[in-house]
Amino acid sequence: METTFVELEGENDLSDEDKVLLEQARKATKEAYAPYSSFHVGAALRTKHGAVVRGSNFENASYPLCLCAERSAIAAARSAYGSPKIDCMAITASTDKAELSNPVTPCGACRQVLFEVEQIQGSPLKLILEGKNGKIWVLKTVSDLVPLAFDGTFLR
C-alpha cells in the first residue's frame, strides 16, 4: 500500500492563497481551549468560492466530548454556507510540551469525517499539514491520508 504527499521545506513553497490559509489555521490555534493537554490545534478551510472558515479544538474534562479543530471548521462552514464544496484545509498545532517538528495529522475520527466530506462533494479536498517547526506536508486528496477508508458502500 502506498500513499502520496509532497513534503515542502516551508511555507514559501506554498501558493499565496495556501499561505493565507495556513496563517488562518495558525490563528485558530490561539482560539483553542486546551487546558488539559495544552495541545492547541487550528484548522482553516477554503471553500470553492473562496470563503475561509476557521476551527479550533475545544477540550472537555471528559475527553470523549472534546471537539476537534477539523470538525469544528467543517461544522462552522456548513452552518454558515449550507453545503459548500471545500477546496482545501490547513491544519497545524502548537504546544509547549513538545517540539512538533513533524506535521500534525488529523485523528482517526477527523480523517473519517474529511473522507466523507470529500465523497459528498465529489471532488478532492487538499490538505496542508504543519507542525510547530519544520516541514509541511501537502496531500492532494483526503483519500491519500485514508487509503482504506470505511464508507457508505459498506452499509448498503
Which residues are identified as catalytic? 70
All three cell numbers of 138: 501537502
Write the DSSP string, 37-96: T--EEEEEEEETTS-EEEEE-B--SSGGG-B-HHHHHHHHHHHHHSSPPEEEEEEEEE-S
